[in-house]
Amino acid sequence: MTVRLLLADDQALVRGALAALLDLEPDLTVVAEVGRGDEVVDAARNAHPDVALLDVEMPGLDGIAAAKALRDAVPTCKVLIVTTFGRPGYLRRAMEAGASGFVVKDTPAKQLADAVRRVHAGLRVVDPMLAAETLATGASPLTDRETDVLRAARAGGTVANLAKELHLSEGTVRNHLSAAIGKTGARTRAEAVRLADENGWLLR
């Protein structure tokens, strides 16, 4: 039996390399490739893949949101997240979204092919180092609003700019930033953004 695969990655070179490697396996075949997260569901409906390999950071819709959309729209298609960003918060969110596996892109080709087969067979596949980090890190300590404020603060800008963008008062934005800085153990707003991002807490 041949396992049908959908690949979603915004980097065409990476997507092409993955497709070439996986197509070398006699029991795996790539039936669809997309470069945006918001193209995943339509591609799955058209190509009927058994397993979708999704990157996390893509335009249109991130891979974790795409995994959830795929679970709802095409429940027969299993999801394996294959990403450069092995962040603990991403793993937790991916599992909650219905992904069956999570591996990093530098996984050797034979291991990746094996991960695809195991996910297709109904098993969970998780990078062991990332699993350990996720258990150690725990869930995000930030509230939804603190997450929104830090996400908006990624691009810089003044408190006034953030308040306008988020439709909040400047005092409320300052309070959320202060709380987020405290919870992340950061010294500055920029450091709080960096730490939250590294832990995968700012993904939508």
pLDDT digits (tens, 9 = 90+) for 85-143: 677 678 878 888 999 999 988 888 899 999 999 999 999 998 877 766 666 566 788 89
pLDDT at residue 137 in the model? 67
pLDDT at residue 84 in the model? 81
Lowest mean pLDDT among 10-19, 52-61, 132-141: 132-141
Please list the residues that pair with 81 across neighbouring strands.
54, 102
Q: What is the mean pLDDT of residues 3-22?
A: 95
Q: Compute φ and ψ for 33, nearest 5 degrees.
A: -135, 135
Q: Would you say residue 58 has pLDDT above 70?
A: yes
Residue 94: other Cβ atoms inside 10 A: 26
Q: Given CATH 3.40.50.10140, say whether it is the number of domain 144-199.
A: no
Q: Which CATH superfamily is domain 3-136 in?
A: Response regulator (3.40.50.2300)
179: tokens are 């709380």
CB contact at 8 A, 193 and 153: yes
pLDDT at residue 187 in the model? 86
Percent of the chain with pLDDT over 90: 65
Q: Would you say residue 183 has pLDDT above 90?
A: no
Q: Where are the domains of the chain?
A: 3-136, 144-199
Q: Would you say residue 180 has pLDDT above 70?
A: yes
Q: What is the mean pLDDT of residues 35-56?
A: 97
Please provide the DSSP assignment of the chain as one string: -PEEEEEE-S-HHHHHHHHHHHHTSTTEEEEEEESSGGGHHHHHHHH--SEEEE-SS-SSS-HHHHHHHHHHH-TTSEEEEEES---HHHHHHHHHTT-SEEEETTS-HHHHHHHHHHHHTT--EE-HHHHHHHHHH-S--S-HHHHHHHHHHTT---HHHHHHHHT--HHHHHHHHHHHHHHHT-SSHHHHHHHHHHTTTT--
171: tokens are 């005092």
CB contact at 8 A, 66 and 9: no
